[in-house]
Chain A
Amino acid sequence: MVAPVRPARLPLVLAAASFTLLVAAPLKAEEGDYSFWQTLVNLVSPPKADNKVTAAQRTGTYPLLANPSGFNDGFQPGRYDAWQTIQLAPQTGAVCGDGSPFKFFVNRVADTRNTIIYMEGGGACWDYASCSGQSGIRGARNPNGIPDDYMGLLNPGASLVSPFVTRVSPFDAVKTQGWNMVYVPYCTGDIYSGDRVAVYNDPSGQNTPLVWHHNGVRNVRAVVGWLKDNLPRPTQMLSTGCSAGGAGSLTSYHPLRRDMAPTRSFLINDSGPIFPTLKNGNPVDYPSQPLMALIRSAWGLDQPNGPLPYLASGLPQFDLNELGTLYPALSSKYANDRLGHTHFWKDLNYSSYSYERFYPDIANAPDQATKEARIHARWDVDTARLRDRLNTLNNVGGYFPQYRALNESHCTTIVDFKNADVQAQNLELKHFIDSVLDGQGKVIDASEQDDKADKAKPFNLLYWLVDQLMG
């Protein structure tokens, strides 16, 4: 029985109760946030890993391998709100395409367990010309490895910085800006999905063969292992990225989500589609078929116990004869997760990678307009099929605006979340992102019919700047 409070002591009791409420309540109303009190404690005594790699996870196919004892990975647990470079030793299985050491970047905060894993975009490569960084060919980012001070450099990837990996975006707010951030750089040219050391001969015969490590799967596994061994388990986790990073966030989602084991998990694949494409389908019906056939071989995707068999072993609905089944397979496996895919109908970048070097009528087009029209026509076929598929999935939304005057309409979530609207449905990209991260019920599906309204928009200084930097 509770004794009545004497009026004279009421202010004291109320103050004590208020104080207790203050220190106990999370700073923000987000699942996974620490209390005010705990945040202060974390600042001086950083929370330790509580979901470490198990002995079983360190063996088998694509194990989670740690740095050797005594290796200095560079991590300072108490260094908050700063980009830290995490070094991965060869023993983790990680390596960049050129054979140099792989590393990634962590920006830790004290007030939440929630974590965003952002995979950098940057093209793809599958032969000597594209992997050696030859000019005039669309290739892959960072062919010479990753410098330690990468986050402090204005490389093309950084100039395409997304509000997802900024703390103080001047243009857009999203809840992940307050989360722990993990930035996974891209240096393997394989959309984080390959596992093969390729030896590409110089077609001119003038140079020695290029030895290229399509090591994306193992790099991501090494990152996951390090995160588990060094940081608390995320309560909420978003895996995202644009272009190759978007594709990588999709292809790595199952093992990442399984092993990180967040309470709530989200995926936003920005402009890295894996289109529904029959393995031996007719390219007239399945325009991405030639690309997919090539990369399956070049990146070692189908090798015994390789990336695709590994994925399929954990995703019963993933059909290796049709890789676009990854979306329904994830939807079914993780029915309580909220997943999203977005890209522009007029994307001229990923589409060029997909078709330009596979279709002579594109390569030999008489002019740029014809070339672009032929690329767009094939992209429309692929996109329509993906849109229709995603429409059938409750927890996977598809958001397809038409055009943005930035980076060849490639990537909806870079620089800002603006101008990726679907005007006819009164939707902005942010509605879609919020639907993934905070929505209930079916994730938003939206598709824009034409680009007239988008192309009528006024000049945008910021977009101009970014395009200058990219040029």
Chain B
Amino acid sequence: MKKLLTLLVPCLVFVAAVLWWKRDDAGMPSDARRPQAEAPDASSSALSSLQATPQAQAHRERQRFEADAKDFFARAPSLRAVERSERAGRLSRQIDRYEAEDGLSAGEALLLRTALVKATVDDPVRQAEEVGAIADRYRAHADQRMAAFAAQQRNDSRFQSYKAREAQVVAEVMAATTIPAGLTRDQYLRQRLQQERERAYAP
């Protein structure tokens, strides 16, 4: 036993050292490796400090959410109704939170909410109603936001300034009888409009 351990421990340390050395990217060019200053000494106190940061806590919470969601959707049919409902409610609140924080796109959140309905509502008619209601809510929100974006574009002085110049430059280039610098008409038009955008959006 003692002999076995004598062999085992150095082997473990060696494997750990190899893993540590190759921890980022074996295929990465050596000049692209992260500086060693970013890989501090692996002491347990440093590890504890890193694990206690707000960022690490948020990271763990996010991983837990993703794992919970995957587990729920995989096992929902076999869960008791009460547990299924409780877990679905918890997930729904987390979806609210992450969606509000940009942690989920609208499309992803919609899919998750739809899947929650499918997992918790047995009646197909009610399923369709609830899913339809969710979709209506998202669509109304999108319509509202797109209208706001259109208004923002209309009131964006830089964009409007560019559009006004765009029309003038197009007319000028299309009417030009000679095109400078050996460019084609298309290339010249693109170049001129590029300059106009840079001018319009200059700080």
State the A residues within 8 Å of B (CB): 2, 4-5, 7, 10, 13-14, 17-21, 23-26, 31-32, 34-35, 37-41, 43-45, 47, 50-51, 70-71, 78, 80-84, 89-91, 93, 95, 99-101, 110, 113, 144-145, 147, 149, 151-155, 157-161, 165-171, 173, 195-197, 199, 208-209, 211, 213, 233, 235, 263-264, 300, 303-304, 415, 461-462, 464-465, 468-469
Name B186-203 residues within 8 Å CB distance of A.
186-187, 189-190, 193-194, 197-198, 200-201, 203
* Chain B: CB-nearest residue to A2: B10
B32 touches A50 (CB 8 A): yes
B40 touches A41 (CB 8 A): yes
A209 touches B170 (CB 8 A): yes
Distance, CA A154 to CA B17, complexed state (A): 48
Out of B25, B47, B145, name the residue touching A40 (CB < 8 Å).
B47
Out of B104, B153, B193, name the residue touching A145 (CB < 8 Å).
B153
B23 touches A34 (CB 8 A): yes
* Chain B: CB-nearest residue to A147: B149
Out of B16, B25, B26, name the residue touching A20 (CB < 8 Å).
B16
* Chain A: CB-nearest residue to B119: A170
Out of B6, B16, B25, B167, name the residue touching A263 (CB < 8 Å).
B25
In the complex, chain B residues whose CB is within 8 Å of the CB of A71: 203
In the complex, chain B residues whose CB is within 8 Å of the CB of A41: 38-40, 50
* Chain B: CB-nearest residue to A39: B59
* Chain B: CB-nearest residue to A215: B190
* Chain B: CB-nearest residue to A91: B198
- B81 CB-CB contact with A under 8 Å: no
State the B residues within 8 Å of A (CB): 2, 5-6, 9-10, 12-13, 15-17, 19-20, 23-28, 32-34, 38-40, 42, 44, 47, 50-51, 53, 55-56, 58-59, 62, 65-66, 69-70, 73, 99, 101-108, 110-112, 114-115, 118, 124, 127-128, 131-132, 135, 138-139, 141-142, 145-146, 149-150, 152-153, 159, 162-163, 166-167, 170, 174, 184, 186-187, 189-190, 193-194, 197-198, 200-201, 203
In the complex, chain A residues whose CB is within 8 Å of the CB of B184: 303-304
In the complex, chain A residues whose CB is within 8 Å of the CB of B111: 161, 166, 169-171, 415, 462
In the complex, chain A residues whose CB is within 8 Å of the CB of B105: 83, 151-152, 158, 161, 165-166
Q: A2-B10, A158-B106, A263-B27 are in contact. Are A99 and B101 (CB under 8 A)?
A: no
Shortest distance from the beta carbon of B196 to any chain A beta carbon, whole Å:
9
In the complex, chain A residues whose CB is within 8 Å of the CB of B39: 37-38, 41
Out of A24, A170, A171, A304, name the residue touching B20 (CB < 8 Å).
A24
Distance, CA A465 to CA B124, complexed state (A): 13
